[in-house]
Amino acid sequence: MSGEGVSFLGEPLPFSEYIELPNWRHRHVGIEAYREFWRRSVENHEDFWASVAREIEWFSPWEKVLEKGEHPHVYRWFVGGKINISYLCLDKHVRGWRKNKLALIWEGEPVDGKGEPREVRKFTYYELWREINKIAYMLKELGIKRGDKVALYMPMIPELPMMLLALARLGAIFTVIFSGFSAENLAIRINDLGASLLVTADGFYRRGRLINLKEVADKALESTPSIERVIVVKRAGNEVRMKQGRDLWLHEELAKTPAAAYVEPERMNSDDILYVLYTSGTTGKPKGIIHDHGGYAVLLNATMKWIFDIRDDDIYFCVADIGWVTGHSYIVFGPMIAGATLVMYEGSLDYPEPDRWWAMIERYGVSVFYTTPTAVRMLMRFGEEPVKKHNLSTLRIIHSVGEPINPSAWRWLYEVVGDSRCPVGSTWWMTETGGIMISHAPGLMLVPLKPGTNGMPLPGVDADVVDENGEPVKPGERGLLVIKKPWPGMPAPPTGMWGEPERYRQVYFEKIKDRGFFFSGDYAVKDGDGYIWVAGRADEVLKVAGHRIGTYELESALVSHKAVAEAAVAGVPDEVKGEVPIAYVVLKEGYKPGPEIAEELKRWVKESFGPIAVPSNVFFVSKLPKTRSGKIMRRLVKAVAVGKPLGDVTTLEDEAAVEEVRQAYEEFTKALRGQKT
């Protein structure tokens, strides 16, 4: 079967292009053998996951593998088991032979722009364990205890993973807010969680420019009544305002703790909350996805082995930001449970030079590299020279994440970066799944690669591509990507989504009625071999350079501007970022459309939401296409944005009559004719 007719970013999907890696043959298995193994794992999925869970250390074992929680579709994994993920990441190694193994190599942004002097900090497992105990001790002195809620708004500095681990140790619930988010976005998350403590930093450098993070935090703190204390990490040394009685410097507080501070890790229930991470959905405010200690640790431990084949002489480098789920699972908790040496960096991929990553891979001898499609497409534009001037022969496994990877970007990664000898995969998962669900698994059984595919569902993960009734679609046909059975690492008790059990049920379990399937929100195609190719979101969520953003959130940011009456945002394909938002705006009486106001609105989004979501174009219309009941015809807007012909549109809006859609389409396209901003 060919991938004809199914394409991504204009490239056909190569369903039948099999790539075999000769030096991996010893673990290369036939597709059929993998499928058979997988089939057995999902048929007995509780037994399967129980055997996987035995690979990590529990304070005391579970009594029951899986149990229904008190709310629909919320499950408790490894019921009765006692565990603490911080113990697995630190104490376990410190007690064993990894005590003096290098845990973290951190490289700061080269501040002078020339690459030197480069600031590097390195920590062994023992050194990290000591730091984290001190931090935990200090937090305890400040009154932070099990179940307390803490927000982290920090740049990519070692203190960020340290905070995560210290809070996990105490059993406190934390939420990390991406340091590129605005004060409004920070405040929304702090208030939803009800955090009493905020940890932030004075500032940090990005592309040689100082970002005054504390100033943004101060703005948010004007409307966050639950915050009692703020801890500030000194990073950039910029002037900041410290509020008496509320704000404390981390280094000053740490100076007061005993050098040999030790805090016993809390004995957490397997299904106790580790963290809440906010992510964008179709409507409304961001959703706080809950993850637990036990199930989450089981999934991360397994995927570190299966997918990254992590071994003790590996140097592992994941380029994500800890503000997103990839950073939680595959910079901090996963690699540290696995006892890996991880590389973490501050700054940008192309600053001071476009070879920053390649230089780092060479400098530290990185062997396992986890990257993103947008980054690859961006770096491809500089050609092969920046890659080729470095010795990347230490690399052995490469994966990408965050959005679909187009076949040509995959080929570049495989041939140019990986020298046609490393498996290259595209790991599919999401904030909700906690860890990787669909991927090549070179550490388990490597089936032949295909450029751009996600590969097969992992063992124990019952993922499939189905129609609206939950029936599998034919190979090569587009359908909805679902997970049919619960998995460890799924949204955790008590409510899956922080404070919103009903919304949890409705968002993920209502699309396909009465089957109990978790609907991811993605479209996907399964080819004849059972490989899955995720084709992008089926809902109003955008993936801009891999960042997850709700169109609704951007529309709210736009209408909060005094000149805007209404706004609709749609994603359009972009060669580098995969997708970018464009905005259709109805101005209020008295405001005139034009390039100035378009620029002003872009600036507004940048400040009120964050720089990652600035629309590439703003179009002005006198009205938005709406159904008779007053709802924006979203799919029509999207179709017009991507230039789909009317024929494809009429069937799209469930709520409106064909004629109504046709008319709205014509009016809308007419209003847009000749507009360029």
Binding site for ligand 6R9 (CB under 6 A): 279, 324-326, 401-404, 426-431, 454, 520-522, 534, 537, 543, 548
Q: What is residue 89's DSSP assignment? A: I
Q: Which of 442, 117, 179 has the alpha carbon at shortest distance from 307? A: 442
End-to-end alpha carbon distance in the chain:
43
* Cα–Cα distances in angstroms (integers) from residue 286 to residues 273, 283, 616, 657, in the given order: 18, 8, 23, 32
CB nearer to ligand 6R9: pick between 129 and 296: 296
- Min. distance of Cβ 426 from ligand 6R9 in angstroms? 4
User: For the CA atoms of the chain, what is the radius of gyration?
Assistant: 25
Q: 356 CB contacts (<8 Å, ≥6 apart)? A: 345, 347, 348, 349, 350
CA trace torsion 23, 29, 30, 33 (10° rounding): 180
Check whether the bond before 472 is cis (ω within 30° of 0): no
- Min. distance of Cβ 397 from ligand 6R9 in angstroms? 15
- Min. distance of Cβ 401 from ligand 6R9 in angstroms? 5
Crossing angle for the helix pair 595-608 and 551-559, to the nearest 10 degrees: 120
Phi, psi of 327 (to 5 degrees): -70, -40
**CA–CA dist 466, 464 (Å, integer):** 6
**CA–CA dist 448, 17 (Å, integer):** 9
- Min. distance of Cβ 487 from ligand 6R9 in angstroms? 15
CB nearer to ligand 6R9: pick between 422 and 656: 422
**CA–CA dist 412, 7 (Å, integer):** 18
The 3-state secondary structure of 615-629, one letter per residue: CCEEEECCCCCECCC
Check if the beta carbon of residue 420 is closer than 8 Å to that of residue 414: yes
The pair of three-digit structure tokens given for residue 272, joined into one six-digit string: 């106790």
The 3-state secondary structure of 582-605, one letter per residue: EEEEEECCCCCCCHHHHHHHHHHH
CB nearer to ligand 6R9: pick between 73 and 543: 543
Q: What angle do CA 487, 493, 494 make, to 5 degrees?
A: 160
- Min. distance of Cβ 282 from ligand 6R9 in angstroms? 12
Q: 533 CB contacts (<8 Å, ≥6 apart)? A: 3, 6, 8, 13, 15, 404, 452, 453, 454, 524, 525, 526, 527
- Min. distance of Cβ 497 from ligand 6R9 in angstroms? 13
Q: How many Cα atoms within 13 Å fall on the side-chain side of residue 517?
A: 23
Check whether the bond before 14 is cis (ω within 30° of 0): no
Phi, psi of 587 (to 5 degrees): -85, 155
**CA–CA dist 329, 58 (Å, integer):** 19
CB nearer to ligand 6R9: pick between 300 and 430: 430
- Min. distance of Cβ 320 from ligand 6R9 in angstroms? 8
Q: What angle do CA 333, 82, 69 make, to 5 degrees?
A: 90
CB nearer to ligand 6R9: pick between 84 and 431: 431
- Min. distance of Cβ 30 from ligand 6R9 in angstroms? 24
CB nearer to ligand 6R9: pick between 435 and 625: 435
- Min. distance of Cβ 9 from ligand 6R9 in angstroms? 12
Check if the beta carbon of residue 530 is closer than 8 Å to that of residue 548: no
CB nearer to ligand 6R9: pick between 269 and 374: 374
CB nearer to ligand 6R9: pick between 279 and 301: 279
CB nearer to ligand 6R9: pick between 269 and 400: 400
CB nearer to ligand 6R9: pick between 200 and 326: 326
CB nearer to ligand 6R9: pick between 404 and 501: 404
Residue recorded with tokens 């605005």: 182
CB nearer to ligand 6R9: pick between 84 and 372: 372
| Residue 223 neighbours by CB distance under 10 Å | 13
- Min. distance of Cβ 482 from ligand 6R9 in angstroms? 12
- Min. distance of Cβ 521 from ligand 6R9 in angstroms? 5
| Residue 32 neighbours by CB distance under 10 Å | 11
**CA–CA dist 479, 521 (Å, integer):** 11
- Min. distance of Cβ 6 from ligand 6R9 in angstroms? 14
Q: What angle do CA 131, 136, 138 make, to 5 degrees?
A: 95
CB nearer to ligand 6R9: pick between 202 and 579: 579
**CA–CA dist 414, 405 (Å, integer):** 12
- Min. distance of Cβ 585 from ligand 6R9 in angstroms? 26
| Residue 350 neighbours by CB distance under 10 Å | 17
The pair of three-digit structure tokens given for residue 364, joined into one six-digit string: 């530290």
CB nearer to ligand 6R9: pick between 297 and 534: 534
The pair of three-digit structure tokens given for residue 5, joined into one six-digit string: 């007719």
- Min. distance of Cβ 316 from ligand 6R9 in angstroms? 17
CB nearer to ligand 6R9: pick between 203 and 281: 281
CB nearer to ligand 6R9: pick between 66 and 447: 447
Helix (H, G, I), strand (E, B) or coil at 81: coil
**CA–CA dist 459, 440 (Å, integer):** 11
